[in-house]
Amino acid sequence: MPILLKSETLEVTEERDIVTVRQAVRRVSLEIRLSLVDQTKVITAASELARNLLIYGGGGEVVLEQLQEGARQGVRVHFVDEGPGIENIEVALRDGYTSGGGMGLGLGGAKRLVNEFELVSAPGKGTRITITRWK
């Protein structure tokens, strides 16, 4: 079971908040000494998910955590909104699926960039996505 070393919460209510999320994820990735490739992967996934949070979820919050489990360290990011939710998660995760306006990476692409990916959503109940990248 991972131990939580640090946690911070960021509000995402406008476009510039996506940059703040990217910078915060980068900072934690550097602190745990992720490789440049792994930094790029988790920052890209976080950027896509923060953008989705704003565009499709109407904004929300991002909780950024630094973890330790034994000798390994990780960065975990939760994206939480109270938007309309995702009607069909299986379709939304499918390659090539888009509801327009994003980076084109999509949820499936974000999922492939991280070690752990969890998506919980239901129509009218909002969405919670959690990603983790381990060193």
The residue range of the domain holding 70 is 3-134
Distance separating alpha carbons of residues 2 and 87, to the nearest angstrom = 31
Distance separating alpha carbons of residues 9 and 70, to the nearest angstrom = 25
Residue 119: give its domain's CATH number.
3.30.565.10
Domain count, the chain: 1
Tens digits of pLDDT across the chain (135 residues): 899 999 999 999 999 999 999 999 999 999 999 999 999 999 999 999 999 999 999 999 999 999 999 999 999 999 999 999 988 888 777 765 555 555 556 888 899 999 999 999 999 999 999 999 999
